[in-house]
């Protein structure tokens, strides 16, 4: 009977181990914080640097919090796990465990406690972390892109291609519009020169109109923004492309908060309206956004 219970426990342990490994293999990066909550200073005792080193040693791509992140994790923060060290209070031992959370702040893995009997903090923390990472080593982590991330990447490429085509089409339409306006102005200028002998010359009028046309064209290009999905919302880019706004979702459909600005973006009668206060005066700008 005891042998049967032992066999069941071993099976459960192996199943949990394989499940944890499968879960972790779906993530490409691990973000290491600059400071742990149980310490007073950033990278105190070089503990954060040691954590980054050990993650890299056991196959992960470790990123220090606040560093320049790769482009794919900037587009999709859910490719990265957030790491932490959990300290357990003890009288004669220093105990630390490695904790990993996903982009929704859900704990998906916690290692066994690493231990140290050293009394000096530097040696105790270092030894406990290295001991905890023995369990990370046993996971034999290897990044395996999930079907979802592959589809997302493909969709992003398609979206980027569509945006590029729309920008090119818009530029061609602007060029044609510019030519049409210049042709109309030349005709009007010729008629005006015949009727009036005084005032600006034909070349001056054409130059003035050309400059005005360029201004109009520039405004029409910058007025079109393209929405690209980011965590909790979208970033709105122009044809440069340059990020003009970052907007975050709210509990109300078609209503967004503008990141870094005291402004709100909402949909009204088919138009996107940016509403904000300027010197205590409520103002509204209508934006053209393509999702």
* Domain stop point among 144, 161, 177: 144
- The answer on 150 and 138 residing in a single domain is no
- The answer on 200 and 241 residing in a single domain is no
- The answer on 91 and 178 residing in a single domain is no
- The answer on 200 and 189 residing in a single domain is yes
- The answer on 166 and 88 residing in a single domain is no
- The answer on 56 and 102 residing in a single domain is yes
- The answer on 133 and 39 residing in a single domain is yes
- The answer on 254 and 183 residing in a single domain is no
How is residue 76 annotated by DSSP? -
Average pLDDT of every residue of the chain: 79
Instruction: Specify whether the CB–CB gap between 88 and 101 falls below 8 A.
Output: no
Q: Which helix H or strand E contains 148, and what residues bound it? A: helix 147-195
> Does pLDDT of 176 surpass 90?
no
pLDDT at 6: 44
Give the count of domains, the chain: 3
| Domain region containing 175 | 145-222
Query: CA geometry: angle at 252 spanning 226 and 162, to 5°?
Result: 20
Rounded CA gap, 179 and 188, in Å? Answer: 14
- The answer on 209 and 151 residing in a single domain is yes
Interhelix angle 202-222/147-195, nearest 10 degrees? 160
**Token code pair at residue 277:** 């206060």
Alpha helices, DSSP H only, in 196-268? 202-222
| Burial classification of residue 116, based on how many CB atoms lie within 10 Å of its CB (0-12 exposed, 13-18 middle, 19 or more buried) | buried
Rounded CA gap, 276 and 286, in Å? Answer: 12
* Domain stop point among 123, 144, 165: 144
- The answer on 267 and 190 residing in a single domain is no
> Does pLDDT of 150 surpass 80?
no
Of the candidates 180, 172, 100, the residue with the CA atom closest to the CA atom of residue 135: 100
What's the mean pLDDT in 188-216?
A: 50
pLDDT at 122: 93
Rounded CA gap, 168 and 162, in Å? Answer: 10
pLDDT at 82: 96
pLDDT at 20: 45
* Domain stop point among 197, 222, 247: 222
Higher pLDDT, 23 or 233: 233
- pLDDT, one tens digit per residue, over 220-260 is 334 688 889 998 899 998 888 888 889 999 989 999 999 88
pLDDT at 13: 42
- pLDDT, one tens digit per residue, over 102-135 is 999 999 999 999 999 999 999 999 999 999 999 9
With cut-offs at 50, 70 and 90, classify the pLDDT of residue 188.
low
- The answer on 139 and 168 residing in a single domain is no
Distance of CA 112 to the CA centre of its chain: 32
């Amino acid at each position: 009977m005891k042998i049967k219970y032992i066999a069941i426990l071993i099976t459960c342990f192996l199943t949990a181990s394989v499940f944890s490994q499968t879960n972790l293999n779906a993530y490409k990066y691990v973000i290491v914080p600059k400071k742990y909550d149980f310490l007073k200073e950033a990278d105190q005792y070089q503990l954060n640097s040691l954590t980054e080193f050990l993650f890299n040693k056991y196959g992960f791509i470790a990123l220090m919090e606040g560093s320049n992140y790769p482009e794919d994790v900037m587009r999709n923060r859910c490719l990265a796990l957030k790491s932490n060290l959990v300290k357990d209070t003890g009288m004669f031992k220093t105990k630390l465990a490695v904790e990993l959370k996903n982009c929704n702040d859900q704990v998906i893995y916690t290692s066994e406690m690493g231990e140290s009997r050293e009394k000096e903090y530097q040696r105790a923390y270092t030894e406990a972390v290295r001991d905890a990472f023995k369990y990370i080593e046993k996971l034999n982590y290897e990044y395996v892109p999930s079907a979802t991330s592959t589809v997302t990447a493909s969709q992003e490429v398609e979206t980027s291609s569509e945006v590029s085509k729309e920008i090119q089409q818009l530029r061609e339409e602007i060029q044609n519009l510019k030519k049409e306006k210049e042709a109309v102005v030349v005709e009007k200028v010729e008629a005006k020169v015949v009727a009036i002998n005084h005032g600006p010359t034909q070349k001056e009028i054409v130059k003035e109109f050309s400059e005005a046309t360029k201004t109009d064209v520039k405004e029409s290009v910058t007025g079109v923004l393209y929405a690209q999905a980011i965590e909790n919302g979208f970033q709105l880019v122009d044809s440069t492309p340059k990020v003009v706004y970052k907007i975050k979702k709210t509990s109300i459909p078609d209503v967004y908060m503008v990141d870094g600005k005291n402004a709100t973006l909402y949909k009204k009668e088919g138009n996107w309206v940016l509403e904000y206060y300027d010197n205590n005066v409520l103002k509204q700008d209508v934006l053209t956004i393509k999702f």
